Amino acid sequence: MTTGLIQTIDTPDGPFTIVADTDGRVLASGWTDDGTRALGRIHASLRPDTLTTAALTAGDAALSYYAGDVAGIDEVAVRQQGTEMQLLGWAALRRIEPGEPLTYTGFAEALGSPRAIRAAASICARNAPALFVPCHRVLRGDGSLGGFAWGLEVKRSLLDREARVGLV
């Protein structure tokens, strides 16, 4: 039986729940107060059987992000399970600068596969540790928001926050 850690914090975008392994690496996170919803996004091989409430370093980083330090999430350790392409994609998402979103086409190009636009979108859709692996920084080719597991209002809010910080 594996145990995980869970913390829910209040953010301007609503409750934000973080599920981590016992080493504090984020397995999943999102704008919900429903731990089951966050758990469901974790790859079965990493999903904890039980959760214990804990204060997490990732929670502090998320609060710093909302306080204006949008780079505060960059050093948070995450743990994901996927294909080689997914792992490369999730690492590439972490290199997208705040305030400089990419299109799905640009993201596919950054992965070295300019024709793999659907694969790029799938990588974003399967990203469990939202915010810490900033899939919200990828947009449709026409600049519209596209999809986001936690709602387009949250995605717009995150992008607006990052754009404002870049202007200060």
Active site residues: 135
The b-or-e profile of 25-64 (16+ CB within 10 A means b, else e) is bbbbbbbbeebeebbebbeeebbbeebeeeebebbebbee
- Tell me the CA end-to-end span of the chain in Å, nearest whole number: 48
- CA-nearest of 8, 133, 143, 159 to 77 is 133
| Residue from 68, 108, 106 nearest 85 by CA | 108
Distance between CA atoms of 147 and 139, rounded to whole angstroms? Answer: 8
